Amino acid sequence: MKTIIEPFRIKSVEPLKFTTRDYRETVLKEVHYNLFKIRAEDILIDFLTDSGTSAMSSEQWAGVMRGDESYAGSSSFYKFQETIQNLFGMPYVIPTHQGRAAERILFSSFLKEGDIVPANTHFDTTRANIEFQKAKAIDLLIDEGKNPSLIHPFKGNLDLVKLKKLVDEVGAGRIPLCILTITNNSGGGQPASLENIKQVKEFLSQYNIPLFIDAARFAENAYFIKLREKPYHNDSVKDIVEKMFSYADGILMSAKKDGFGNMGGFLAFKEKKWVEMTQNLLILTEGFPTYGGLAGRDLEALAIGLREVIDEDYLKYRIRSIAYFAEKLVDLDVPLVLPAGGHAVYIDAKNLLLHIPPLQFPGQALAVELYREGGVRSVEIGSAMFGKFDELNQKAIPADMELVRLALPRRAYTQSHVDYVIEVIENVYKKKDKIRGYKITSGPKYLRHFTAQFSPV
């Protein structure tokens, strides 16, 4: 059949709150134009993130009731551990309360001042946790991944030429690990190919540099490989996942994405020595190794979610839903990161709002306008999130791209919700020339976009 339907029935619903434009204008002023600070009850459609916002299945809710809350040796942990071992081939599993906790433990254990961590593209919390250790996060994305309108099947690939150049320049001794984020969230939710993962691992092995995969959206990446990488068209997603992670030495994951979890994450390793390096910090800051900051009910639900996410009927629906959203916007001439990613549509705010310079945050301006127009919350991924400051020259440096991400929570919204958001974007697009830029009036050193205050220019 041509029509792709949701591979589930809706069993429980919660009401949405409709507001007026005047009400939303008041809200924006009260939160100083930072959408993170808006109360959830004042949002109609919340596409801020797909992290922790997905709908859990009936089997996951049953798992919540079965959760074993024993402090040590919880049976729910062993189900969680066994699922990760079977799915990813990693024998050693360390649960954490979410992905950034896994990042903090990993980087606190591995990094020292002056170290360098290459990646295709680091996401915001990854970069911040690296920089907090006084190390440097380097993005080595292929050039195709920096051109929003260019069609390329694997725009999340890490550039091997750039990686070789980096190792030659700084020496392998300053690179304690390399990260591949799949899919590449900061670059438009774009996948990395299995061939690229293999080649990166083969190169790193020459220098004994371990490869870690940020696996937040591993199932979506595997499905793209099945669709776009010829040797794997007939492979199951489960087989592709096994092949992907056969090249990894370790995993860090926020299980709030492809784990269908409202909370949770983990580290997983192939070698026991990395457990010994990280477990003491886990116990100090997260909890005993068989719960790691999570309730037994969360561990139980995540074990089920990690198995459910590789269902190919679900992945077909998920990827097609995002593509549908993108196709409708392309028909309206809205510039996007193309092809569509796995979990979100990314509007190219730089090209949509040509009259707003990068340091006046066109992405933030567009995100604010989408909320003002229709109560839709999105997030800026541009110079507000990733802009830097050159201390030597006392000069702000904009990000490579100015994007607005509309991330769809899994199994939570229907096509009519998406159609409404498309209509909101269309209305904003028609008056794009009237949108004003913004300036930051206050904000912290790390992860400023979460709490910064803005004002119109």
Active site residues: 71, 123-124, 214, 216, 257, 449
Burial of 181 (0-12, 13-18, 19+ CB in 10 A): buried
Residue found by looking up tokens 């540099």 in the block: 209
The CA-CA-CA angle for residues 151, 149, 339, to 5°, reads 45
CB atoms < 10 A from the CB of 2, how many? 3
434 Cβ contact list (under 8 Å, min separation 6): none
Strands 403-407 and 395-397: unpaired
Residue found by looking up tokens 């040796």 in the block: 73
For the record, the structure tokens of 6 come out as: 């949701």
